[in-house]
Amino acid sequence: MREEELKRWMRLGLGPKKYSNKTIKKTITYLKFLERRLSVDLDKVTLEELADILADVEDAGVAVKTINNWIKYLNRYLLFRGIDKLKYRPQWENPDVFFYVPTDKDREKILSVRWSRPEIHWRNHCILLVLFDTGIRIDELVHLNWQDIDRSPEGVPIIHIRHGKGAKQRVVPIHPKVLDELYKYRKYYRIDSDPNAIFTTINGRLDYNYARNLVKEAGKKAGVPQFHAHAARHWRAISWLKQGINLETIRRFLGHANIKSTAVYVRWMEMQDSFSEIVKKDKTFGGWAHKGPEYINKKGGDE
C-alpha cells in the first residue's frame, strides 16, 4: 500500500474532499488491517477480485454491517487508484441463516474431481479432504507444516494450527484415513520445493489466492459452482451437529472466539427444519411438489 501517497491525496483533497488527520490515520490503520485480514495487496488487487473475496467473507459469516464498514475504507483506496467503487451490501434481518452448505452429495462430487497431472491431483484432493475433515480456514491450511502433525495424549491424530484467525493457535483432530492420504501424497506426489510446507507448488508454499482458486475450480469441475473453501467449513460444522457433537466442542475446533459465532449453525439447521415442516404439513394449495415457474432461478430470485 502506498501509504505516504495516500496520506497526501487525502490531506490535500486531491480526491473528493479534504480529510482530517484523525480520519487519515484511521483509514491507514484500517487498510493495513484489511490487507492482512483479506490477504490482498491493495496496489495490485482488482475490483473483481476484491468483490469475490468479500463475497466469500460474507458467506463465511462476517456481518453485513462489518463488511460495509470495510467497503467504506477500501473504496477510499480504490478511488485513490482511480478504480470504480465496491457496492455496499443490502442489510436485512437474519441473513446468516441462508449461507450455502454443501450437501453430502455435493461433497462426494467434489471429492471425486480429478486433475490430469498426478502430483496436482493428489495435492488438490488432499487439500479438499483436509478442508472437509477438519473445518479449518483456507489461510490456516496454506500455513500448515509437516511438523504440525501430532498426536494427542489419547493417541488421536491432530494438527496444530499455528496461524489461526487473530494470531490464535489451536489443535484440531484429523481422521486417520485423511492422514494416510496426506502421507501417500508426501511420499509419491508432493513437489519438494519447500521442506516444511505440506502443500506446495514448483515455487514453494501454496499461497492463499492459489489455494482459494483451485478449490473453486474443483466446485466448477464437480458441477457445484457455488462451492468455495469456507463452504467445506460449513459442511463440517453442520455434519458434527447432526452427529450430536457438543456445540462447545465444535466452537473449539473451528477456532471461534465466541460461541455465538458457532450458534449460527444451530440457527441454520432450525431454519431448514422450519422449511421442511412447512413443505410436509402445509396442504393449503395441494402440497409443495410443484417446483415453480421456470423464470425462478436456482438462487430463488428472478433472472
Q: Does the annotation count 256 as an active-site position?
A: yes
Instruction: Tell me the per-residue pLDDT of 183-199, one tens digit each, with 9 for 90 and over.
Output: 999 999 999 999 999 99
Q: Can 265 be counted among the known catalytic residues?
A: yes
pLDDT value at residue 48: 83
The yes-or-no answer on residue 44 being catalytic is no
Using pLDDT thresholds of 50, 70 and 90, give the confidence band for residue 166. low
**Average pLDDT value over all residues in the chain:** 88
Question: Of 160, 139, 140, nearest to 149 (Cα)?
Answer: 160
**Confidence band for 59, pLDDT divided at 50, 70 and 90:** low
For the ranges 33-42, 61-70, 124-133, the maximum mean pLDDT occurs at: 124-133
Domains of the chain: residue spans and CATH: 3-92 (1.10.150), 104-260 (1.10.443.10)
**Residue 94: what pLDDT?**
54
Q: Is 165 a catalytic residue?
A: yes
Catalytic residue among 107, 212, 228, 233: 233
Check 76, 212, 230, 251 and give the catalytic one.
Answer: 230
Choice between 102 and 168, residue whose per-residue pLDDT is larger: 102
Q: What is the CA radius of gyration of the chain?
A: 22
